[in-house]
Amino acid sequence: MVTLSGVELESPLTKISELTSQIFDLGCARDDTPGCKHVIHFNNAGAALMPKRVVDAIIDHIRLESEIGGYEAAERAHDAVERVYQAAALLIGAEHDEIAMLENATRAWDMAFYAVPLKAGDRILTSMVEYGSNFIAFLQRTQRTGATVEAIPNDEHGQVSVEALGEMIDERVKLIAVTHVPTNGGLVNPAAEIGKIAREAGVLYLLDACQSIGQLPLNVKQIGCDMLSATGRKYLRGPRGTGFLYVRRQLIQRLEPPFLDVRAAQWVGSNRYEIRPDARRFENWETNYATKIGLGVAIDYALHWGLETIRKRVTSLAENLRAQLSTMPAVRLHDLGVERCGIVSFSVEGIEPEVIKQQLASQRINVSISIRSDTLLDMESRGLGKIVRSSVHYYNSEDEIERFCRAVDAIAKGAKSNVLGASERAPTS
């Protein structure tokens, strides 16, 4: 028997989930999310459903561009564009001049990573669950420079072993670059413990927060990272093609961006340029103003809910989902770690993940597939090929989780189910 706010609970997971949903205004969240009427969206780690106000802000700006001109619309929207820097800074406990807006998390991460000086003999330490694009960049740079990249072993729970990291540190380690939440599961790596070691050793620390931003409270000072990359379209519920980079103020001027243009620098003499002093040195000039504004609105919306509220709701829904899936004999759950988030990864014995995805899609339930090459070290070490990734957000309901589980159960048993009622069926056209 457990208690929550003094209430005794018989069946902990379901009851905690029900109680959290009573405290959380689910009706409001779903009303603000038009997509909830069309799909059961468990692909929030791919791209979440945008709230209506985000969509409106984007469309309004595009309309303004078409009516008065793109440059003129940007001038008129100056405050909304600046707001995105303030909102992103507020979200992660930074200052607005420490934020650069980029077109995705990968480019944000790249702009930081390729700016870190490396030479032969230097070491980069990373996580077992590092994302494919990051690792490809490690390989390119280590092949170019003669530096090396090493994965920090996991502890017995499957998260980065902080102890092993401590033992790996020496004067040759120039960068710790780890993924907070991997693309392929609910693991949350101990970002702040890693930060403590990085600080003590005086080693640069780059955190890939692409999958954690918007579902977990993040504070760069508490984490102790020097650089952090994030995307807009996932748990932040912003538009696709948006992302941002944080770089600690004291570090900005020590990092020369791999690319420069007229946004990042000023051409001040026929053979001279000056790089701007703030984090916008990592940006480039031409940008999508509409989606930038949309990202600002999405971040403000997340802040309005509160990141701790979001975390509680998302993790409780995910635990509920894991609990229900774990009762199915053919289902194998794959989430690692002590702390787990809204991503629930699983496979069903004897059924290809694509078949599961397709059969769920035919019932308008969205999931995605994690493939081996996206997190090669992790998948190889666990002998995994492809797995199903279901990822919940706060606007998902307990009822959707039950329907989802009924559908998975039916697929596992080789039967077709249709969990949507007649009124909810997709239009035929």
Ligand X SMILES: Cc1ncc(COP(=O)(O)O)c(C=O)c1O
How distant, in Å, are the alpha carbons of 170, 215, 272, 429 from that of 37?
A: 54, 22, 56, 17
In the bound complex, what is the minimum distance in angstroms from residue 387's beta carbon to ligand X? 14
**Lookup result for tokens 């050793």:** 201
Tell me the CB-side half-sphere exposure of residue 190, using CA atoms within 13 A.
Answer: 19
In the bound complex, what is the minimum distance in angstroms from residue 393's beta carbon to ligand X? 15
> In terms of Cα–Cα distance, which of 76, 82, 75, 22 is closest to 299?
82
User: Quick check: 160 binds ligand X (CB under 6 A)?
Assistant: no
Q: Which one of 21, 211, 215, 324 is in contact with ligand X (CB under 6 A)?
A: 211
**What are residue 3's DSSP bridge partners?**
8
Burial-class residue 143 by CB neighbours within 10 Å (0-12, 13-18, 19+): exposed
User: Quick check: 179 binds ligand X (CB under 6 A)?
Assistant: yes
User: Quick check: 104 binds ligand X (CB under 6 A)?
Assistant: yes
Q: Which one of 208, 283, 400, 409 is in contact with ligand X (CB under 6 A)?
A: 208
User: Quick check: 298 binds ligand X (CB under 6 A)?
Assistant: no
Do residues 389 and 345 make contact, with C-beta atoms less than 8 angstroms apart?
Answer: yes
Q: Which is nearer to ligand X, 188 or 407 (CB)?
A: 188
Tell me the CB-side half-sphere exposure of residue 416, using CA atoms within 13 A.
Answer: 7
In the bound complex, what is the minimum distance in angstroms from residue 198's beta carbon to ligand X? 19
User: Quick check: 126 binds ligand X (CB under 6 A)?
Assistant: no
Q: Which is nearer to ligand X, 243 or 337 (CB)?
A: 243
235, two tokens: 């748990």
Q: Which residue stretch of 14-22, 170-178, 188-196, 207-215 sits at the interface with ligand X (rule: CB under 6 A)?
A: 207-215
User: Quick check: 231 binds ligand X (CB under 6 A)?
Assistant: yes
- List for the chain the helix, strand, coil content (%; round to 5): 45, 20, 40
User: Quick check: 158 binds ligand X (CB under 6 A)?
Assistant: no
Q: Which is nearer to ligand X, 258 or 329 (CB)?
A: 258
Q: Which residue stretch of 23-31, 206-214, 280-288, 330-338 sits at the interface with ligand X (rule: CB under 6 A)?
A: 206-214
Q: Which is nearer to ligand X, 77 or 181 (CB)?
A: 181
In the bound complex, what is the minimum distance in angstroms from residue 210's beta carbon to ligand X? 4
Q: Which is nearer to ligand X, 109 or 289 (CB)?
A: 109
- Using DSSP, state whether 353 is helix, strand or coil: helix
User: Quick check: 243 binds ligand X (CB under 6 A)?
Assistant: yes
Where do the H-state alpha helices sit in 232-371?
A: 249-252, 289-305, 307-325, 353-361
User: Quick check: 159 binds ligand X (CB under 6 A)?
Assistant: no
> In terms of Cα–Cα distance, which of 220, 159, 151 is closest to 189?
159
Q: Which one of 183, 284, 291, 363 is in contact with ligand X (CB under 6 A)?
A: 183
Q: What is the residue-wise DSSP string for 151-173?
A: EPPB-TTSSB-HHHHHHH--TTE
In the bound complex, what is the minimum distance in angstroms from residue 239's beta carbon to ligand X? 11
Q: Which is nearer to ligand X, 182 or 353 (CB)?
A: 182
User: Quick check: 106 binds ligand X (CB under 6 A)?
Assistant: yes
How many residues of this chain bind ligand X (CB under 6 A)?
13
- Using DSSP, state whether 55 is helix, strand or coil: helix
Q: Which residue stretch of 196-204, 205-213, 302-310, 403-411 sits at the interface with ligand X (rule: CB under 6 A)?
A: 205-213
User: Quick check: 210 binds ligand X (CB under 6 A)?
Assistant: yes
b or e along 286-296 (b: 16 or more beta carbons within 10 Å of the residue's beta carbon)?
A: ebbbbbbbbbb
How distant, in Å, are the alpha carbons of 56, 63, 72, 404 from that of 68?
A: 18, 9, 6, 46
Task: List interacting residues with ligand X (CB under 6 A).
Answer: 104-106, 131, 133, 179, 182-183, 208, 210-211, 231, 243
